[in-house]
Amino acid sequence: MTPKTFLAAGILAASLCTASNGAPATDAAAGTSAAPAIEQTIQVSAKNFMFTPASLTVKAGTTVTWVNLDDEPHTVFSDAGLFRSSALDTKERFSFKFEKAGTYHYLCTIHPRMLGTVVVE
Amino acid sequence: MTDDSLDSPSRRRALGCLAYGGAGTLFVLAGGVFTPLDLAAAAADADRTARLGRPLFVQLSDTHIGFNKEANPDVDATLTRAIDLVNVMPQAPALVIHTGDITHLSRPAEFDHAQQLFSRINAGEMHTVPGEHDTSDATVSEYFSRFGKASNNKGYYSFDHAGVHFIALVNVLQFKPGGLGTLGSDQLEWVEDDLKGRSASTPIVVFAHMPLWSVYEPWGWGTGDAPQLMAYLRRFGSVTVLNGHIHQIVQKVEGNVTFHTARSTAYPQPAAGVGEGPGPLKVPADQLAGVLGISSVSLVKHPHSLALADRTLV
């Protein structure tokens, strides 16, 4: 899947990825690079200063990519200190691989009203 | 001697409507009362203008070097225009204070370019505080590697100049969902200690990026723990609080404390609550310079009063 596809059809791409990942979330912890990559895209919406979707549930081992579709820069900051992006300018992206189950909250440090959650199963 | 017209209640009332003034409003702080004056009236009175004293410092804010969207495709040019205005002041200001968002994306090249532009300013020295756009690199190190020395990398510090005590604060490093700025308990304790033993007659200037008062909470235009800071400042006879962040002038007087937010040199933002949210506001190109600007503060009757003037880039 090309970056363009992610951009053009973010949410669709997200659900598509989930569906196509019939392959069991084989091991995340082991980090076997041979396993097919599991990817999900979260858009940073241009409207209303929101992460879309604001809440996302994925399987352990999933790499989540945030794409900034806004004219304003945004960051992705885990309040538990798990990950922190640099400022993403328009169309820039940031990815993080969620290895362990849990609920991960994040926000944009430039616009801390923007909140999001990734639930890893 | 005191200027009678400043103390006249009717004059104060008449001038009150200028409190949110745009171009050409001059703010005079005398005896703890911050009074806006029409620049045209001041200009017509040469004596009064002379009494406004020498420039103490100029406030620059929200230069957003690196921004290139349609609200202002050339932020270098507007900052350069602002610097030109400083450089033609009859007397060079001793200090320049930058209230944050020096850069747009915290990129090294943006900081380097900003410093190159700042090097043209004809002023004694520059003091800065970071905005949230300056601390948005993953390691939060670009700002501090360049401007952290004054504060031992804490970001907050104080200094004295011409009998005025300056306090630089950081309210963009701790994030509370909801968006208000935060000073944090360590910094508040430091302020309390910094002010301990100082005479109440010392003029105080406090500066930080996000407003240290609630301008508009739904957009995060405020600082959640600022009331604690105000408790420490209340006993002083003259306190001037300068902020940026919202890219427009908003002013409030509370007791002896005057709060003032500065214009940006890069792009305007909507008035509080107008539209979907804060962000770059596109205005017709020929109106842009009229909504950007700088502020300057002068000593009026050293060391007891300060005068603050805002001017646009027109």
* ipTM score assigned to the predicted complex: 0.78
Q: Point out which residues pair with A51 in neighbouring strands.
A: A44
Q: Point out which residues pair with B293 in neighbouring strands.
A: B312
Q: Which of A47-61, A69-83, A85-99, B250-264 has the lowest mean pLDDT?
A: A47-61
CB contact under 8 Å between A87 and B280, yes or no, is: no
The predicted-structure confidence for B69-108, as pLDDT tens digits, reads as follows 999 999 999 999 888 888 887 778 888 999 999 999 999 9
DSSP structure class, residue A84? B
Q: Which of B83-92, B148-157, B202-211, B241-250 has the lowest mean pLDDT?
A: B83-92
CATH of the domain at B258: 3.60.21.10
DSSP structure class, residue A29? T
Section A61-78 average pLDDT: 91
Coil, strand or helix at B7: helix
Rounded to an integer, what is the distance from CA B168 to the centroid of its chain? 11
Q: For residue B148, what are its two tokens?
A: 């952290």
State the pLDDT at residue B179: 82
- CA distance linking residue A35 with residue A23, whole number of Å: 9
Domain that holds residue B222: 4-312
- CA distance linking residue B58 with residue B62, whole number of Å: 14
> Mutate which of A113, A115, A117 to test chain B, going by most B C-beta atoms within 10 A?
A113
Query: What is the H or E stretch that residue A94 is in?
Result: strand A93-98
pLDDT higher than threshold 50 for residue B238: yes
In chain B, the number of structural domains is: 1
Compare B94 and B208 and report the one with higher pLDDT.
B208
B280 neighbourhood in chain A, CB within 8 Å: 71-72
Q: Which of A19-33, A81-95, B73-87, B117-131 has the lowest mean pLDDT?
A: A19-33
- Cβ proximity of B91 and B296 under 8 Å: no
Q: In this complex, is the C-beta atom of A75 within 8 Å of any C-beta atom belonging to chain B?
A: yes
What part of B 205-244 touches A (C-beta under 8 Å)? 219-220
In chain A, the number of structural domains is: 1
Residue A44 banded pLDDT, cuts 50, 70, 90: low
- CA distance linking residue B59 with residue B242, whole number of Å: 8
State the pLDDT at residue A23: 35
- CA distance linking residue A40 with residue A25, whole number of Å: 13
Rounded to an integer, what is the distance from CA B10 to the centroid of its chain? 29
pLDDT higher than threshold 60 for residue B6: no
- CA distance linking residue B285 with residue B260, whole number of Å: 26
Q: How close B132 comes to chain A (CA, Å)?
A: 5
Closest B-chain CA to A49: B277
CB contact under 8 Å between A48 and B132, yes or no, is: no
Section B127-134 average pLDDT: 98
Cis ω before B203 (30° cut-off from 0) = no
CATH of the domain at A27: 2.60.40.420
- CA distance linking residue B296 with residue A5, whole number of Å: 51
Q: How close A16 comes to chain B (CA, Å)?
A: 30
Phi, psi of B110, rounded to the nearest 5 degrees:
-70, -45
CB contact under 8 Å between A73 and B105, yes or no, is: yes
Q: In this complex, is the C-beta atom of B282 within 8 Å of any C-beta atom belonging to chain A?
A: no
- Cβ proximity of B98 and B63 under 8 Å: yes
Q: In this complex, is the C-beta atom of A85 within 8 Å of any C-beta atom belonging to chain B?
A: yes
State the pLDDT at residue B14: 29
Starting at the edge strand found earlier in the chain, the sheet holding B157-161 runs B157-161, B164-168, B204-207, B239-243, B257-261, B250-254
- CA distance linking residue A79 with residue A86, whole number of Å: 15
* Class of residue A110 by CB neighbours under 10 A (exposed 0-12, middle 13-18, buried 19+): buried
Q: How many CB atoms lie within 10 A of CB B167?
A: 22
Block residue for tokens 């005025």: B164
The predicted-structure confidence for B7-25, as pLDDT tens digits, reads as follows 333 333 323 222 222 333 3
pLDDT higher than threshold 90 for residue B235: yes
Q: How close A20 comes to chain B (CA, Å)?
A: 32
CB contact under 8 Å between B137 and A110, yes or no, is: no
- Cβ proximity of B262 and B294 under 8 Å: yes
Section A63-85 average pLDDT: 91
Give me the residue from A49, A77, A85 closest to B277, CB to CB.
Answer: A49
Closest A-chain CA to B71: A71
Please state at what angle helix B185-195 crosses helix B226-233, rounded to 10 degrees. Answer: 10
pTM value is 0.81
Taking CB atoms within 8 Å and a gap of at least 24, the contacts of A100-106 are: A100/A28, A100/A29, A100/A60, A101/A60, A104/A78, A104/A80, A105/A78, A105/A79, A105/A80, A106/A51, A106/A76, A106/A77, A106/A78, A106/A79
- Cβ proximity of A20 and A55 under 8 Å: no
B69 contact partners, CB below 8 Å, separation of at least 6: A71, B280
State the pLDDT at residue A113: 86
Residue A27 banded pLDDT, cuts 50, 70, 90: very low
- CA distance linking residue B235 with residue A84, whole number of Å: 41
Domain that holds residue A78: 3-120
Closest B-chain CA to A50: B277
CB contact under 8 Å between A49 and B105, yes or no, is: no
